[in-house]
A and B are shown apart, each in its own frame.
Chain A
Amino acid sequence: MIVSWNWLKEYVLLDMPAAELERRLMMAGLNHESTEEVGGDLGIDLEVTSNRPDCLGHLGIAREVAVLWGRSLKLPAAAPREGAAKVTDLTRVSLECPELCYRFTGRVIRGVKIGPSPSWLVRRLATIGISAINNVVDITNYVLMECGQPLHAFDLAKLAGPEIIVREGRPGEKLLAIDHKTYDVGLGVCVIADAKRPVAIGGVMGGAESEVTEATRDLLIESAEFAPLSIRTTARKLNLHSPSSYRFERGLDPAGVDWASRRCCELILDLAGGELAAGSIAVGRTPPVREPIVLRLAQLPRVLGITIAADEVRRILQALGNREVKADSQKVEVIPPSWRRDLTREIDLIEEVARIHGYEAIPEDVSVPMAPSARSDEDRVLSTIRHVLTAAGFDEALTLSAVEEEWSQAFSPWTDAAPLVSPTPILRRADRLRRSLVPSLLGARRTNETLANPTIELFEIAKVYLPKPGALPDEERMLALTSGGDFFAVKGVLEALIARLNPAARLEVIDASLELLDSGRECELKLNGERLGFLGEASDQGLKQFELRGRTTVAEVRVSQLIKAARLVPQYQELPAFPAIGRDINLELPEAIRWADVAAIVSERSGAALESLEFKEIYRNDALRSAGRKSMLFSLTLRSREATLTNAEADAIRASIVAACGERFGAVLRA
Chain B
Amino acid sequence: MALAEFLAELDQLQADAECTFQSAADAEALEAARIEFLGAKSGRLKAVQKGLGAVGKDDKPAAGKRFNEVKQAIDAAFEAAQARASAGGGKQAASAEFDPSLPGRRPRLGHLHPITQTIEDLKEIMGRLGFTVTEGPEIEDEWHNFEALNIPAEHPARDPLENFYLSTAQALAKSSGQTTGQPLLLRSQTSTVQIRVMEKTPPPVRIISLGRVYRPDTADATHYPMFHQIEGLLVDRRVTMADLKSVLRLFARSFFGGDVHIRFRPSFFPFTEPSVEVDMSWHDRWIEMGGAGMVDPNVLKAVGYDPEEVSGFAFGLGVERVCARRHHVTDIREFYKNDVRFLEQF
Contact = CB atoms under 8 A, between A and B. Distances in A.
A119 interface: no
A467 B111 CA distance: 33
Contacts of B219: 427
A448 B246 contact: no
Interface in A463-498: 463, 465, 467-473, 475
B225 A351 contact: no
A648 interface: no
A397 B335 CA distance: 9
Interface string B138-154: 11110000000000011
Interface stretch (A324-332, A359-367, A636-644): A359-367
Nearest to B242: A305
Interface stretch (B14-22, B64-72, B91-99, B265-273): B265-273
A249 interface: yes
Interface stretch (B27-35, B38-46, B49-57, B129-137): B129-137
Contacts of B266: 27-29, 351, 354-355, 359
A148 to B, nearest CB: 17
B166 A362 contact: no
Contacts of B311: 302-303
A401 B172 contact: no
B130 A424 contact: no
Given A370-B130, A422-B167, A470-B175, A362 B336 contact: no
7 contacts: A31-B265, A364-B248, A398-B338, A424-B165, A459-B110, A462-B212, A472-B172
Nearest to B128: A373
Contact of A304 (B129, B132, B242, B337): B242
B226 interface: yes
Given A371-B206, A373-B131, A375-B127, A29 B265 contact: yes
Interface in B313-345: 335-341, 343-344
A613 B108 CA distance: 28
Interface stretch (A9-17, A449-457, A519-527, A566-574): A449-457
B223 to A, nearest CB: 11
Contacts of B263: 359-360
A303 B238 contact: no
Nearest to B180: A470
Contact of A373 (B132, B296, B338): B132
A456 to B, nearest CB: 6
B161 interface: yes
B296 A365 contact: no
A364 B168 contact: no
A390 interface: yes
A473 B139 contact: yes
B340 A456 contact: yes
A493 to B, nearest CB: 11
Interface string A41-59: 0000000011110000000
B262 interface: yes
Interface string A394-423: 111111110000000000000000101111
B160 to A, nearest CB: 8
Interface centre among B128, B135, B140, B344 (most CB of A within 10 A): B135
Contacts of A423: 165, 167
A312 interface: no
B132 A305 contact: no
A423 B186 CA distance: 12
Interface in A340-363: 345, 347-348, 350-351, 354-355, 359-360, 362-363
Contacts of A28: 266
A594 interface: no
A388 to B, nearest CB: 10
A430 B185 CA distance: 15
B74 interface: no
Contacts of A363: 242, 245-246
The 8 A-B residue pairs whose C-beta atoms are closest, nearest first, are A305-B242, A305-B240, A371-B130, A29-B266, A393-B108, A359-B264, A390-B110, A351-B274
B112 interface: yes
Contacts of B110: 389-396, 457, 459
Given A360-B263, A366-B246, A453-B339, 12 more contacts: A50-B156, A232-B159, A355-B274, A362-B242, A366-B242, A373-B130, A386-B112, A398-B115, A400-B336, A421-B167, A426-B216, A467-B172
A351 B275 contact: yes
Nearest to A249: B156
A421 B242 contact: no
A367 B130 CA distance: 13
A640 B131 CA distance: 49
A399 B241 contact: no
B265 A27 contact: yes
A51 B268 contact: yes
Nearest to A394: B110
Interface of A: 26-29, 31, 49-52, 228-229, 232, 236, 249, 301-306, 345, 347-348, 350-351, 354-355, 359-360, 362-368, 370-376, 378-379, 383, 386, 389-401, 418, 420-424, 426-427, 433, 444, 447-448, 451, 453, 455-459, 462-463, 465, 467-473, 475
B343 A395 contact: yes
Nearest to A49: B268
Given A363-B246, A373-B132, A475-B137, A453 B340 contact: yes
Contacts of A364: 242, 245-246, 248-249, 261-262
Contacts of A469: 172
Contact of A471 (B172, B248, B264): B172
A80 B225 CA distance: 52
A347 B115 contact: no
Nearest to B174: A470
A470 B171 CA distance: 7
A376 B207 CA distance: 12
Contacts of A458: 338, 340
B23 interface: no
B63 interface: no
B116 interface: yes
Contact of B340 (A232, A249, A306, A395): A395
Contacts of B107: 391, 393
A611 B164 CA distance: 55
Contacts of A457: 108, 110, 340
A399 B139 contact: no
B76 interface: no
B184 interface: yes
Contacts of B120: 383
B243 interface: yes
A471 B167 contact: no
Given A347-B296, A375-B127, A422-B166, A395 B111 contact: yes
Interface centre among B130, B139, B161 (most CB of A within 10 A): B139
A670 B159 CA distance: 75
B128 to A, nearest CB: 8
Nearest to B228: A398
Contacts of A366: 240, 242-243, 245-246
B193 interface: no
Interface centre among B120, B166, B206, B250 (most CB of A within 10 A): B166
Given A373-B127, A472-B184, A424 B161 contact: yes
B102 interface: no
A360 B264 CA distance: 7
Contacts of B273: 345, 347-348, 350-351
B84 interface: no
Nearest to B116: A396
Contact of A350 (B137, B243, B274): B274
Contacts of A396: 110-113, 116, 343
Contact of B268 (A52, A368, A456, A465): A52
